[in-house]
Structure 1
């Protein structure tokens, strides 16, 4: 469940009415509830004559951040260039979608390590952002679009075909997509837990982890989650009526006490998300877990289950990058301490290793042990000369 704060009753009524109207034209019942995608900088500047000479170097921000005023220092001209890029990209998106979205003011604070952002508005409410510029040169060579659930409610389904074409032509990629199904009555959140226990979420014989949130003892405002974002795929099932109306009593008064939302979130962690998810969301929802396939069958939705598989090459490169960062950080930040422990600490270093062997470094979480081991072997081959002493017991 995205939020626990109560909302005005009118908001809950409006959301349900909007969803029911969408459902009339969407027989698949699966809709996109959140979308994030990235395109190369060139795809934006080539569409805007005034920006055609802008390069990634022009939007690579070097100036710092004023913590006291919480504003970026604008002496760096890269901020101005990033402003123009974000506005141009946002203007393109608004024109492309033609569904009542407008551009808000450009902000000198960014997000997700981008330097600036421009808000996307619908009925004066912020429903997304377009982001550009970064201190990191590689990230500065991209432009990112973040469309919240409120934006997706306003975007007609056929416009997503246009978005797909735009991303494909730009050689961009989806970084996150949420696929949602709303069921108004007849379902119970406890049944999702039963399905998990019976193996309907198992992947290649392994049962993913799960979490509960909300008031399970009092039987309201509950969420049952399967999987985790670190692996790039998870499902949330939650009592949407309670969320929208603020309490079980209020949701019951408006006939929404049985309103359940099923939501599959897919991120590009170790995955390349197929752009067809924009035009065939039901197929990818069905392919997420066996439970999802059965759910659509019960709702009389025809879908050809299609999975978004883990990409071994992407996973290997990501694991390698994580290990390289860990090794570089250790060498540069605490290398002298490690050396002192090795040279003068006796068995202390071995003791520290033994005590912490069961723990997984935060930066290495989400990877298989075999991928981490292979990555360490590659990094050791690159960073350690042949003459380096062996510390793993080998002779």
Structure 2
């Protein structure tokens, strides 16, 4: 079984459904990632080497100037050499460095999504207060972007200028190759990024008993309450005639909102009488810290949103381990655990072999000499010794419990 070919980005409902079914089959999870955004500090993103920016045999010194960039660009144009990244839009070396870092991140994101994705050859005007963006494309249509530099010199935006932001639309998530979510999660961790938005979608292709009306009834009965509180509720669409209906539970201000809507009407039109119902849980980073684990275990985090969300997964016959995303006042211990988990994952997946050799062949005194003056990793420096001590072993236990869950191989 393989992905259907994508000849264009007209979102044909049948094709979308087929791809979602294929993903569900290989991932063994009914929850689909439908939107992902993350931000990282520029200092955490490596600057590409000159060799990667300029094709051989062109050479530049380590201390090249902007004028040298211009001369080399003109030389490449005269020789008909294709550039990996256009230079003329950037008026300072610092701007060029930011553009190069963002371009490299965009290339890595596109590669993680699959070989059918590419990065636009020219930067475009930025979005969301970023000055520029590199578009991530699928067959020439933008399905995501990586933004860099601030759109103004205002003090409020100067901190944003120190970041690079990636935004992947639902189209990218739907048409990406199997395992893309694990690869993007690893990329976020490698660049010490912070997830700022993550949409988790549960599809009932044949609907549920009572349809979207049953969800409204659940809300009225208090089944959607969280912590004894009744959440905000809003309805849109043609409820009188039973078409294109959508309802919202929660609020963006709190960083968590659930949108249940008639997906079949959206994709096929109301005359199709499709029963397809989608429940989409949208997490934002307002009042919350979102973990990259959400990309690896979307069903667990969907179930952790509330008892009602867990009950919806039971309708899909899913077996999960609910993982809540707490609001800021209750975050400290979860944040320590999340950071310890990231560090433990790096040790297990990247450094374990080298660590094993050191333990086997170095004496106890040599081992102690190796580690005693080492600083803690940057992400753990903000926590106390007692907090790390109480969370690190739990982080290893968590990783061990999920070690049997492996990413399915990519389609042939």
Same fold (TM over 0.5): yes
Query: TM-score, normalised on structure 2?
Result: 0.64
Aligned to 2:303: 286
SS at match of 1:292: helix
Q: Does 1:19 align with 2:36?
A: no
75 and 309 in structure 1: CA distance in 2 versus 1, 3 angstrom threshold:
closer
Note closer, same or farther for the CA distance 1:104–1:291 as it changes in structure 2 (3 Å cut). Answer: same
The change in CA–CA distance for 1:112 and 1:53 in structure 2 (over 3 A counts) is farther
Q: Does 1:190 align with 2:207?
A: no
Q: Structure 1 CA distance, aligned partners of 2:149 and 2:298?
A: 31
> Any idea what SS the aligned residue of 2:21 has?
helix
What is the CA-CA distance between 1:128 and the residue it aligns to?
0.5
1:217 to 2:233 alignment: no
Q: Is the 8 A contact 2:13 2:267 kept in 1?
A: yes
The question of 1:170 aligning with 2:186 is answered no
Question: Which one is further off, 291-300 or 94-103?
Answer: 94-103
User: CA distance change for structure 1 residues 313 and 108 in 2, over 3 Å: closer, same or farther?
Assistant: farther
Match of 1:277 in 2: 294
Offset of residue 278 of structure 1: 0.9
- Contact kept, 8 Å, 1:287 with 1:306, in 2: the verdict is yes
After TM superposition, what 4+ stretches of structure 1 lie above 3 angstroms from structure 2?
50-54, 73-76, 78-83, 96-99, 105-108
Are 1:228 and 2:245 counterparts? no
- Indicate conservation of the 8 Å contact 2:42/2:98, yes or no: no
- Cα–Cα, structure 1 residues 235 and 100, in superposed 2: closer, same or farther, change >3 Å? same
- Structure-2 residue corresponding to 1:49: 49
Cα distance change of structure 1 residues 261 and 186 upon mapping to structure 2, 3 Å threshold: closer
- Give the C-alpha shift of residue 44 in structure 1: 2.2
Q: Map of 1:1-395 to 2, 5 A cutoff?
A: 11-46=12-47, 48-50=48-50, 76-77=91-92, 79-134=95-150, 135=152, 136-187=157-208, 188-245=211-268, 247-249=269-271, 251-252=272-273, 257-312=274-329
Q: What secondary structure does 1:211 align onto?
A: strand
Task: Tell me by how many angstroms 1:9 deviates.
Answer: 9.2
Gap regions ≥5 residues in structure 1: 1-7, 55-72, 316-395
Shift of 1:157: 4.1
Paired residue secondary structure (2:171): helix
C-alpha distance after superposition, 1:218-263 (max 9, x if no partner): 1000001101111100000000011012x311x23xxxx1000110
TM-aligned CA distance change 1:116 to 1:314, over 3 Å? farther
Cα RMSD (Å): 2.6
Change (3 A) 1:243 1:285: same
Deviations 1:77-123 (A, max 9, x none): 35544433332221122233434211114334111111100111112
User: Given the two structures, how large is their TM-score scaled by the length of structure 1?
Assistant: 0.67
Q: Deviations over 1:112-140 (max 9, x none)?
A: 11110011111222110111111422111
**CA distance, structure 2, for counterparts of residue 149 and residue 75 of structure 1:** 31
The answer (yes or no) to whether the contact 1:200–1:289 under 8 Å persists in 2 is: no
Q: Once the 2 structures are TM-superposed, how far is the Cα of residue 304 of structure 1 from its aligned partner?
A: 1.1
Between the aligned partners of 2:324 and 2:198, the Cα distance in structure 1 is: 14
Task: State whether residues 37 and 146 of structure 1, in contact with CA within 8 Å, keep that contact through their aligned partners in structure 2.
Answer: yes
Residues 20 and 32 in structure 2, CA contact (< 8 A), matched pair in contact too = no
**SS of structure 1 residue aligned to 2:199:** strand
Cα 1:117–1:9, aligned 2, differ >3 Å: closer, same or farther? closer
Cα-to-partner distance string for 1:339-390 (whole Å, 9 max, x where unaligned): xxxxxxxxxxxxxxxxxxxxxxxxxxxxxxxxxxxxxxxxxxxxxxxxxxxx
Contact 1:79 1:115 in 2 (8 A): no
